[in-house]
Chain A
Amino acid sequence: MALDDADSDLIESELGREPTRAEAALFENLWSEHCAYRSSRHLLTAFDDDAEQVVVGPGDDAAVVAVPTTHGDELESANHGDESESANHGDESESKDSGDESESKDSGDESESEAFDDEADSAETYLTFGIESHNHPSYVDPFDGAATGVGGIVRDTMSMGAYPIALLDALYFGDFERDHSRYLFEGVVEGISHYGNSIGVPTVGGSVAFHDDYEGNPLVNVACVGLTDADRLVTADAKAVGNRLVLVGNATGRDGLGGAAFASEDIDEDAETEDRPAVQVGDPYAEKRLIECNERLLAEDLVVAARDLGAAGLGGAASEMVAKGGLGARIDLDAVHCREPNMTPVEILLSESQERMCYEVTPENVARVRELAARFDLGCSVVGEVTDGDFVCVTESSSGEEATAVVDVDASFLGDGAPRNELAAVEPTRPERDLPTVELATAYEAVLSSPNTASKEWVYRQYDHEVGVRTATGPGDDAAVLALREADCGLALSAGAEPNWTDAAPYEGARAVAVENAANLAAKGARPLAAVDCLNGGNPEDPTTYGGFEAVVEGLADGCAELDVPVVGGNVSLYNDSESGPIPPTPTLAMLGTRPDADAVPSTITGDGYLVLVGDRAVDAPETPRLGGSEYLAQFGGSDQFPTLPASPAATLEAVRSLVDEPFVTAAHDVSHGGLAVTLSEMVTPDAGLTAGVTGDASRAALLFHEQPGRVVIETTAPAEVAAALPDDVPATQLGRTDSSGVLGLSANGESVTYEAGEIAALRDTLERELE
């Protein structure tokens, strides 16, 4: 990929000369779709990131939100006084004036005490939240591509002054029946497992979906949550002329060259061989040492600003830091510690070698940073200093004696000067209704055992989801729930999208993704605090593809706005297109929320209560159940419109949230993929069964398998109290009773099926059965 003529002309006229090779390479990568969001920037203004709890909004390595001090029904809870005015900016430097760290920076005290252990530290608890995609690398090299995706988002967390406490992965592959899909799936899971487990960050949730259109282009989206506080918070913007830029971590090598540009074009047929050099190789052992070193640097207050080296390597990180601070830099490329000799200036600037961080450090603290890096066996080089001029990179090796500038450009032009792409869009069409006819038992077994709805235990058993001793509810439930003892509350996390939904109806499907993630939190009694998105699309130059992408962005933005959840950050990945065609537009959303404690109601029943379906607008209710986007149609063919969403999902979910913590509620489970039939099956255990029936003016399949989000099944000892606790406009349907049989009895309009817990488990065991 090279710069196109229009970009070249613009750069030449700005510089007043032809760019050097190094400059051209920097522009090519930093002005790529991946870095500059040229086809999506204007769409992203649809997202609302304005809320009291937002400390740092979009634009930095990760967003930062303040944890509210109460999590109950008091809506005024999130009152953060002077923090609210800094919402959205992320430019505040209040993080730097903390002088009360109990650890002394000059005592030479080498004790391993932790910043968070300081009992005197009463600073407000902040969470960082970021997401990124590693799609193209994971096609070429699934193990390393996925592993380095984890590494990158963890460093984005570290560079905000946070310690990473949780990972979530949303993964999308082609048809599970195909060997190549399985090869990619196994490699990606193994890569995430290897890297995440080694660095001791629990992978607590996420999603896995299979769809034909990911065949030539799987998606690997990784989100990370970090823990910090007002005193530790660090941002990326360089602060002062004369400060040093210090590179800490792995040596720079020739891996991941031009990764940003590679991520910004379609995957070619020969990508597995031709693009391998653009894929980075990770070393989790180095990352773990980098995390610990970062902790010490923060504890000793040595970091003025920080950015991890990701897309476009040192050139990207250093230029972005100074551009954000409205400053410049002089970088000595010869000072960079390299893994191999004779690397060219372009290679040093653009290498995406992993496990490297760039810190702004005051001159007097450089020696201590070096000491700490050495303590953790990490490389360290002072690569330059902050100036008030251009972004300048010099080297001696290219021309012999005299140091010459190979780059001399205005940092903000490099970072923000890329013009927006003007693209044509064709609005998506709505599908007609054309439904198959299938026996209930056949439909039930096919939907329950589909790889999309089946148990994901094969995946998450390979992830260490308990390291950190915070995980109260792990993967396999609606949302993970972690103990956030620092703020004396529980933290709930959900992430995912549903390609069948957005394939059938991009706008409504994306809105539904927002509602679904919020419903996952509500089922665990958590109120959403913030979301980040990873917007994956095909080649935007195709008007139909771009039209679908546009609709997905609008739908997700509207869905989050209706839920009053600020979207505080995200990532866009376009050109997910291969010879097998574009991917379905895939708006992965990761959402976090809080609840009073980590003790959330389980999703499996006790066997002694009544079942109530909350929020279903089609069972015993006015709406026609729509099967558009359902696993049922994915299994048996046909088409339909997407279900009508609740008019005010926020009110429904707020009612669910407060309901599930009532003492008369003994289980709660979100209804989504596979519909009510799958949800009820998942609630059954060998010791607890249920008998449930639905009736309505629709087909049995529509009643049991439609996937309208925003519904929750509740097990309660007091069904009347459940109905009384809900607002009048939130439908509540009595489904039946639970018992100690361990048997599921399910009926719809008179036809019924019966399965024992063991049979359900066997049907849901698809991944394990096929892959072991």
Chain B
Amino acid sequence: MTVAVVRFGGSNCDRDAVAALEHLGIDAELVWHADGLPSDPDGVVLPGGFSYGDYLRAGAIAARTPILDDVREAAADGVPVLGVCNGAQVGAESGLVPGAFTTNRSARFQCEHVHLRVERADTPWTAAYEEGDVIEVPIAHAEGRFVVDEARAERLREEDRVLFRYCEADGTVTDAADPNGSRDNVAGVVGDRDTVAVTMPHPERATLPDVGPTDGQGVLRAFA
């Protein structure tokens, strides 16, 4: 009974996710996608990286592998599922969450620390924070611009599905604070259930205290 961190060919934040979870005292194991999801996982992480080399579209091929059927099933059963970075792209491509992630406004890869405003504190992913808290978490992506059509954007707002928005250090949501041009500064959303979430920023990179800020720990504590 542990958190399954799904490794595709090209995943590269899989070890980091395991290290971060284990630092929080949460059992985690790497699962090779072709072996399928173990039965009764306590949680699932779709980690960052470049699954299938990002060929075709980021996340598109991984989203169509058989293990995603297992993941969708687990998600439907209420198992917590978190997609981070490439995992967020896989999550969007596989329909676990609405919207899509595409090429950054800069058209370049961006590795930097950003500020996020916690939009909801009543999900497992944000229970450690207060609504309106500002946390510092790294991003590292070339295709992180969240896009969604107007109707769905409206539904996201109505259903209050946005977890995090890119913001200034003081919590103001501005265009300048949006590193990649995401619609409405969206950095993370939940799916049909609050137990399914994706974020472009990397909470696992803001967890281990010897390498910098630990503001991301709260997200991973959803698995505790």
A198 to B55, CA, bound (A): 11
A375 to B55, CA, bound (A): 19
A129 to B156, CA, bound (A): 50
Contact B210 A464 (CB under 8 A): no
CB of B97 to closest CB in A, whole Å: 23
Complex contacts, B205 vs chain A, CB 8 Å: 466, 469
Contact B9 A467 (CB under 8 A): no
Contact B211 A598 (CB under 8 A): yes
Contact B12 A469 (CB under 8 A): no
In the complex, chain A residues 440-489 whose Cβ is within 8 Å of any chain B Cβ: 460-472, 483, 485
CB of A354 to closest CB in B, whole Å: 13
Known: A110-B35, A197-B109. A285 touches B12 (CB 8 A): no
Complex contacts, B208 vs chain A, CB 8 Å: 469, 483
Complex contacts, A113 vs chain B, CB 8 Å: 29-30
Contact B13 A200 (CB under 8 A): yes
Contact A471 B211 (CB under 8 A): yes
In the complex, chain A residues 191-212 whose Cβ is within 8 Å of any chain B Cβ: 193-194, 197-200
The winner among B35, B55, B109 for most chain A CB atoms within 10 A is B109
CB of B88 to closest CB in A, whole Å: 16
Segment touching A, from B45-53, B64-72, B118-126, B183-191 = B45-53
Contact A465 B111 (CB under 8 A): yes
B16 in contact (CB, < 8 A)? yes
**B9, B109, B204, B212: the one within 8 Å of A464 (CB):** B109
* Closest A residue, CB atoms, query B34: A375
Complex contacts, A469 vs chain B, CB 8 Å: 16, 19-20, 204-205, 207-208, 211
A664 in contact (CB, < 8 A)? no
A111 in contact (CB, < 8 A)? yes
In the complex, chain A residues 20-41 whose Cβ is within 8 Å of any chain B Cβ: none
Contact B12 A198 (CB under 8 A): yes
In the complex, chain B residues 173-208 whose Cβ is within 8 Å of any chain A Cβ: 202, 204-205, 207-208
A377 to B52, CA, bound (A): 11
Complex contacts, A142 vs chain B, CB 8 Å: none
Contact B16 A468 (CB under 8 A): yes
**B12, B32, B52, B106: the one within 8 Å of A112 (CB):** B32
Binary CB contact string for chain B from 54 to 85 against chain A (1 if under 8 A, 0 otherwise): 11000000000000000000000000000000
A641 to B32, CA, bound (A): 60
A599 in contact (CB, < 8 A)? yes
Complex contacts, B12 vs chain A, CB 8 Å: 198-200, 288, 467
Contact A112 B30 (CB under 8 A): yes
* Closest A residue, CB atoms, query B15: A114
B154 in contact (CB, < 8 A)? no
Complex contacts, A200 vs chain B, CB 8 Å: 12-13, 49
Complex contacts, A377 vs chain B, CB 8 Å: 9
Complex contacts, A110 vs chain B, CB 8 Å: 32, 35
A289 in contact (CB, < 8 A)? yes
Interface size on B, residues (CB 8 A): 39
**B16, B52, B110: the one within 8 Å of A467 (CB):** B16
Complex contacts, B109 vs chain A, CB 8 Å: 193-194, 197, 461-464
Complex contacts, A288 vs chain B, CB 8 Å: 9-10, 12, 49-50, 53
CB of A380 to closest CB in B, whole Å: 15
A376 to B33, CA, bound (A): 11
CB of A660 to closest CB in B, whole Å: 18
A468 to B52, CA, bound (A): 19
Contact A285 B50 (CB under 8 A): yes
B91 in contact (CB, < 8 A)? no
Complex contacts, B202 vs chain A, CB 8 Å: 466
Contact A464 B35 (CB under 8 A): no
Contact A464 B29 (CB under 8 A): no
Binary CB contact string for chain B from 9 to 26 against chain A (1 if under 8 A, 0 otherwise): 110110110011000000
Known: A463-B111, A469-B211. A197 touches B140 (CB 8 A): yes
Binary CB contact string for chain A from 367 to 408 against chain B (1 if under 8 A, 0 otherwise): 000000001110000000000000000000000000000000
A461 to B179, CA, bound (A): 12
A410 in contact (CB, < 8 A)? no
The winner among B55, B108, B110, B211 for most chain A CB atoms within 10 A is B211
The winner among A112, A462, A470 for most chain B CB atoms within 10 A is A112
**B19, B31, B50: the one within 8 Å of A198 (CB):** B50
B7 in contact (CB, < 8 A)? yes
A661 in contact (CB, < 8 A)? no
Main secondary structure of the interface of B (DSSP, over half): mixed
A597 in contact (CB, < 8 A)? yes
Known: A197-B140, A199-B12. A599 touches B210 (CB 8 A): yes
Complex contacts, A466 vs chain B, CB 8 Å: 111, 138, 140, 202, 205, 211
A472 to B212, CA, bound (A): 6
**A112, A193, A284, A483: the one within 8 Å of B53 (CB):** A284
Interface size on A, residues (CB 8 A): 40
List 19 additional contacts besides A470-B211, A599-B210; criterion CB under 8 Å.
Answer: A110-B35, A111-B30, A114-B15, A190-B108, A193-B108, A198-B10, A200-B12, A288-B10, A288-B49, A461-B108, A461-B110, A461-B111, A462-B110, A466-B205, A469-B16, A469-B20, A469-B207, A469-B211, A472-B210
B112 in contact (CB, < 8 A)? yes
A598 to B7, CA, bound (A): 28
9 contacts between A and B (CB under 8 A): A113-B29, A190-B108, A197-B142, A199-B12, A284-B53, A376-B9, A462-B109, A466-B205, A469-B208
A284 to B51, CA, bound (A): 11
CB of B46 to closest CB in A, whole Å: 15
A471 to B16, CA, bound (A): 12
Contact A289 B9 (CB under 8 A): yes
Complex contacts, B106 vs chain A, CB 8 Å: 772
CB of B147 to closest CB in A, whole Å: 22
Complex contacts, B13 vs chain A, CB 8 Å: 200, 467
Complex contacts, B111 vs chain A, CB 8 Å: 197, 460-466
A232 to B204, CA, bound (A): 28
Contact A111 B110 (CB under 8 A): no
**Which 4 A-B pairs give the minimum distances between C-beta atoms?**
A200-B12, A285-B53, A112-B30, A198-B50
* Closest B residue, CB atoms, query A111: B29
* Closest A residue, CB atoms, query B202: A466
A283 in contact (CB, < 8 A)? yes
A292 to B106, CA, bound (A): 31
Complex contacts, A461 vs chain B, CB 8 Å: 108-112
* Closest A residue, CB atoms, query B12: A200
In the complex, chain B residues 106-136 whose Cβ is within 8 Å of any chain A Cβ: 106, 108-112
A466 to B13, CA, bound (A): 10
Complex contacts, B112 vs chain A, CB 8 Å: 461
Complex contacts, B140 vs chain A, CB 8 Å: 197, 464, 466-467
CB of A303 to closest CB in B, whole Å: 20
A485 to B22, CA, bound (A): 14
Contact A283 B19 (CB under 8 A): no
Known: A464-B109, A466-B138. A483 touches B10 (CB 8 A): no
A375 to B110, CA, bound (A): 32
Binary CB contact string for chain A from 77 to 113 against chain B (1 if under 8 A, 0 otherwise): 0000000000000000000000000000000001111
Complex contacts, A292 vs chain B, CB 8 Å: 9
Complex contacts, A283 vs chain B, CB 8 Å: 53
CB of B53 to closest CB in A, whole Å: 3
